[in-house]
Chain A
């Protein structure tokens, strides 16, 4: 090309560099092959170690492949109404995905650091904002850890209220997943249905806790308030309606050829791969591993209720969909049993050191007033030690690692966010797939960026 003047070439090169500098995340992002180390390259193509060796050896990766043949593109950060601020960098060969790297951190708000400055009483307000689709699970994970350190025994009603609310929350969370997944596949009716049904549950949350989301309902020592009058009827209506509607979703999606074509056999993951990557929740269950903490390591009163652990077979998108759809039904089963068997009694521990005294007592008792004041200014002290507790959130194992130094604040609070870990399976699921499937892969992992970035 003799007619291109040297000046033009220089100007173009400058512009590309400036553009790269403005949008680049540096080494956090996906780099060209020649700038990437072998091990990192292996990670980006989804190499996973197995017991005996590598499923895909990084040394097999074609390092010599010219960067001119492939293209690195950004997917997202998309609109929060889809899947939060997740940005995926993909290396493409035409329509096919060669390498993937999730770039996260856009929603990082330093909640673990904030948690160290808040007292244990305030802590639930903080963690409830992590996974904004299942606030009750977050609070439950945190409060379980605090109560384990404290050695507090909960009254039965508190346990059953927590269980019922957690299951309702699981239904709401899976409904949003169905909705967003539908939207990703172009099924806008599913999108509207999912949010419509979720609203029923959120309305009940508002009635019970005062807030639709970020409820701060589960607190160390019990729950914030007793269930409102007539809650049985509300919950029964919710159960009946949603159970009926899940059959409609079945009709709308499960048998539909387009939906099946987009979901079946797309992005499969094996049980070994999932376990090596630490993946839990519906993704692990979709591979055929019946691992559900509610069943295998029961907490609350899950060992006293009757429900099935849903497992898939192939670990593909469709199995992940089917597992979540049927988990809605199982959660409804648990909620119904909670309505039937809800014990009477206190909804929180009557220990003035941990839970505030009833409002009426403050007017008549000096001691109650002092307890109330101390609890909400200083908080309660937790014995020194460290603990890791885990519960089954709608997305997998939600763990909370707490280190206490005996003061009213956690010394270190770390939350093991299930979608943060699950997101690591994305490069593996993407490998060899098409760009159009990338959308469904993100969707079926169900990452909640508030929890990923914390």
Chain B
């Protein structure tokens, strides 16, 4: 397990994770600061960012002090120089999930955050262009949420009368 970077904000819990070197759980306030600290520590590439809806999950393993919320944002960082991976998991909230955008740290998260907003409905403060990216502009709901049924709308074309 690799140690936290020296400039990491307080209140970050860490745990072992499968197939990466460390998983850390910042508070929503310290989220961007922690990612920035990792970046300064040599993690120059943000490999992946996605949102997870934990509604109906029987319970996940979280380190002590981390309050589980329904939505979680998972960021996978990669260091080319050190050949290591770290995972940042931030609890985004229950009703209206909202975290700060990583656009200022890694501009490459722009599309990934748009996808997380589009499919899971997580809001990113400070994102330059938070619009739907995969679904049509007038789509209702966020398909990857657990309370969004599969096949609720069979096929939707722009002009066709839908069941809604």
B80 lies within 8 A of A43 (CB):
no
A406 lies within 8 A of B128 (CB):
no
A421 touches which of B17, B18, B111 (Cβ 8 Å): B111
CB interface residues, B 106-159, toward A, < 8 Å: 106-112, 115, 119, 128-129, 131-138, 143-144, 150
Judge if A48 is at the interface, Cβ distance under 8 Å: yes
A28 touches which of B85, B109, B137 (Cβ 8 Å): B137
CB interface residues, A 22-79, toward B, < 8 Å: 25-28, 37, 39-40, 42-43, 47-49
Judge if B47 is at the interface, Cβ distance under 8 Å: yes
Q: What's the least CB distance linking A413 to chain B, in Å? A: 10
Judge if A276 is at the interface, Cβ distance under 8 Å: yes
A401 lies within 8 A of B107 (CB):
no
Given that A277-B108, A278-B46 are contacting pairs, would A117 and B134 also be in contact in the complex, using a CB cutoff of 8 Å?
no
Residues in chain A within 8 A of chain B (CB atoms)? 25-28, 37, 39-40, 42-43, 47-49, 104-105, 108, 110, 112-114, 117, 145, 148-149, 275-280, 289, 291, 296-297, 384-390, 397, 399, 401, 403, 405-406, 411-412, 414, 416, 420-421, 423-424, 453-454
Q: List 12 A-B contacts (CB under 8 A).
A: A25-B137, A27-B137, A42-B128, A43-B107, A104-B133, A276-B108, A277-B107, A278-B108, A278-B112, A397-B47, A416-B47, A424-B111
B108 lies within 8 A of A279 (CB):
yes
- In angstroms, Cα B61 to Cα A414, docked, is 19
Judge if B98 is at the interface, Cβ distance under 8 Å: no
Residues of A close to B37: CB separation below 8 A: none
Residues of A close to B74: CB separation below 8 A: 386, 388, 401
- In angstroms, Cα B106 to Cα A397, docked, is 17
A105 lies within 8 A of B80 (CB):
no
Q: What's the least CB distance linking B138 to chain A, in Å? A: 8
Query: What string of 1s and 0s marks CB contacts (under 8 Å) between B85-109 and chain A?
Result: 1010000000000000001111111
Residues in chain B within 8 A of chain A (CB atoms)? 17-20, 44-48, 50, 52-54, 57-58, 60-61, 74, 76, 78, 80, 83, 85, 87, 103-112, 115, 119, 128-129, 131-138, 143-144, 150
Name 8 extra pairs, CB < 8 A, besides A148-B18, A401-B48.
A27-B129, A27-B137, A276-B107, A278-B106, A387-B18, A401-B50, A403-B52, A414-B48
A49 lies within 8 A of B48 (CB):
no
B83 lies within 8 A of A385 (CB):
no
Q: What's the least CB distance linking A25 to chain B, in Å? A: 6
B128 lies within 8 A of A37 (CB):
yes
- In angstroms, Cα B60 to Cα A9, docked, is 63
Most chain A Cβ neighbours within 10 Å, of B54, B58, B80, B143: B80
Q: What's the least CB distance linking A48 to chain B, in Å? A: 5
Q: What's the least CB distance linking B163 to chain A, in Å? A: 17
* Residue of A with least CB distance to B132: A28
A296 lies within 8 A of B47 (CB):
no
B108 lies within 8 A of A424 (CB):
yes
Q: What's the least CB distance linking A403 to chain B, in Å? A: 6
